[in-house]
Structure 1
């Protein structure tokens, strides 16, 4: 048996054509028991990978290919988490890389190796050039330095399907044996099937702004997901066995400490529950002009009991606080929208301006103690002053506790035609003509476009270059193209965010969590929507 310990997914943006669900399904088909995900400097795909492996019954190995400034060179290293402490270290390392210069320091790398396996690349690593020139002395010198400076590591042997590299790997293995350094089989995987090498080349061209006429955009072969029989034919048994040994010791499952909302700073040290109750009682009296009907008292007590039981009192206090700030700054605030309008607590705090009892609105549509779900209050501000409120929250709770939420721009139907056509060096007028023929329907696919527009299908079928364009474009369609920010949402955390999720810097200022919105609630993070409306702007 063996395990693929190096796989880039499409979350290594424009540097892999692999969809995670397809990857894990293929591993299951090939009879693999374990599988690693090792994206380049980022960990966007970790929660997707965890779910996919659980569905297919595959043991997940979480890793990171990390670029490091090592002896004045940018050198990639591979780290694999042995346990959840190791996984946390990978999150912190990825956060440091993706929030800074795009690489880590040697000190950061060494610190992150605690509870992780460290694998040193031969091909593409620090002694790559010496290996290519078959300079045994220089390879030995560099490996000796690494052994002295770094934690214990394995050396990866790759690209064994090429005869020249096989000889080089044999030399490296002998040197490692003399230095008592272990080696392991590591096929570098950027695409699933060998036939995808062409699509991968085009994808790299999109990312690098190059065309197929550019000699610096070669066709890279031998990077596909090989079955076990093929691995056994290429690598020596002890190097394959080492991959099993490493994978068996990697037991991270992402069951980390969950966070919650920051604790609201209440006056005079009263508890959040007490302060919320005091505010609501005062607010209700004000709303009712001092004459509070019995049904309002009962409804308020019921809602407060539910909120306190579900530990959401800080949530309401935080929202109350930034809405109060906005009003003090003469920033218009919307009257409330969605299920939050069914909350009397929201009404008494001034979060909403709608009396839920008057209009027969149900609190259970907002918070239901029988169905545990996070509260979701959407707050509207003028689009030209929304950022002022976010800045207030950012200042109050600190940069380690507030973040944007990442989203991904994808290779949609029109976009992928334009991108692939440009790399294939097709005339821009022809690309524009094809793109215009794709219906302006949201989330339409190229297959649907060809079915809906007979003229488009006719034009494509008439020329081989268009057939090639659409064949490659359909393979890349839907893959993430670039990072962006959620239009309205931010997350808040009681714990420092890097203890909870990996973060990155998408824009200057506030950090951005690397996981998309649907994976945040399981980490205890609550999304708050600060919506900017043009019709509130005066």
Structure 2
């Protein structure tokens, strides 16, 4: 029998610069593959979460909400890092909303909002499941740069900061994927860290690759024929079935099993159909209704 597997990394059309998946339609792709849960993890954004949550819940698929976040690199701001955050519970979901809002409002660099890990308290960290980012995270980049000691230092730092931390493994045909998988597994074993297999999904089917490349080129201001255009995606970044993922990581079965374990731990319920307003502070014990009326009158006086 084929093992169960859950996709924990997926960029939809709401990722703005990359990703082509429709958050409603992709749910049916997961059902066809026999998956019981699915995550949406757009790039530093959660715009598609409610649409995805509604579609998944209606179809009987467990929705997992997260984000593929840009992380501030204090040593070299141009060489930004990434971590994948998944909301473990409602508090984790609120934490992720807060982090992304703060990133875009107070910590923009060039064209991205960056999360600063110094913002995250132990209470905030407990509501999140964190994946290492593979080749885009601090650990993976250190390994690719040939510094095993720096990779180990980063792995220790992140696993100490985040109690639900996993080393991420990917195989999508990039030149250094196999080396990075091997070194990541070796480091995880040394430090006693769990590993998890992810598929960095950007589009639905392999034949959609060229369309995705066109979208990315437009977003980056390049033509497809430009030899200087960055080429960071591969045709293998499509929505693989669970059978394909189990075959791809048959040599590391725990990486497949942990995708399901993570899905079991992510339990977020969103209240729909009613406005969700924040608790707003009012002066001198005034009711919110009276304070809003006062502010409205003051605003009208200013305009008149």
* TM-score category, normalised to shorter length: 0.7 to 0.9
Residue of 16, 23, 28 corresponding to 2:26: 23
Task: Give the 5 Å matches for 1:135-534.
Answer: 135-148=147-160, 150-159=162-171, 161=173, 164-214=176-226, 215-218=228-231, 220-221=233-234, 222-235=236-249, 236-255=252-271, 258-259=276-277, 314=289, 318=292, 322=296, 326=300, 328=301, 331=304
CA change 1:142–1:52 in 2 (3 A) is same
Residue of 129, 132, 135 corresponding to 1:123: 135
SS in 2 for 1:210: coil
Equivalent position of 2:119 in the other structure: 108
CA change 1:263–1:225 in 2 (3 A) is same
Equivalent position of 1:404 in the other structure: none
CA change 1:117–1:201 in 2 (3 A) is same
Q: Distance in 1 between matches of 2:201 and 2:74?
A: 27
CA change 1:110–1:69 in 2 (3 A) is farther
2:26 is the alignment partner of 1:34: no
* Residues 67, 104 of structure 1: 8 Å contact kept: yes
Q: Distance in 1 between matches of 2:164 and 2:147?
A: 24
SS in 1 for 2:246: helix
Unaligned runs of 5+ residues in structure 1 are 273-313, 332-538
More divergent stretch after superposition (129-138 vs 317-326): 317-326
CA change 1:330–1:33 in 2 (3 A) is closer
* Residues 211, 217 of structure 1: 8 Å contact kept: no
Unaligned runs of 5+ residues in structure 2 are 108-112
Q: Distance in 2 between matches of 1:216 and 1:109?
A: 35
Q: Distance in 2 between matches of 1:330 and 1:144?
A: 57
Task: Please give the per-residue CA displacement for 1:286-322, whole angstroms capped at 9, x wherever unaligned.
Answer: xxxxxxxxxxxxxxxxxxxxxxxxxxxx39x956963
2:46 is the alignment partner of 1:72: no
Deviation of the 1:260 alpha carbon = 7.4
Q: TM-score, normalised by structure 2?
A: 0.82
* Residues 140, 180 of structure 2: 8 Å contact kept: no
* Residues 14, 47 of structure 2: 8 Å contact kept: yes
Aligned-residue CA RMSD in angstroms? 3.0
Deviation of the 1:183 alpha carbon = 0.6
* Residues 200, 237 of structure 2: 8 Å contact kept: yes
More divergent stretch after superposition (36-45 vs 150-159): 150-159
Deviation of the 1:103 alpha carbon = 0.9
Q: Distance in 2 between matches of 1:194 and 1:330?
A: 57
CA change 1:329–1:133 in 2 (3 A) is closer
Deviation of the 1:30 alpha carbon = 1.3
* Residues 171, 177 of structure 2: 8 Å contact kept: yes
Residue of 79, 86, 90 corresponding to 2:92: 86
SS in 2 for 1:223: coil
CA change 1:193–1:89 in 2 (3 A) is same
How many residues are paired up?
286
Higher radius of gyration, 1 or 2? 1
* Residues 128, 164 of structure 2: 8 Å contact kept: no
Q: Distance in 1 between matches of 2:47 and 2:104?
A: 11
Q: TM-score, normalised by structure 1?
A: 0.48
CA change 1:164–1:319 in 2 (3 A) is same
Equivalent position of 1:95 in the other structure: 101
CA change 1:250–1:174 in 2 (3 A) is same
More divergent stretch after superposition (56-65 vs 211-220): 211-220
CA change 1:264–1:117 in 2 (3 A) is closer
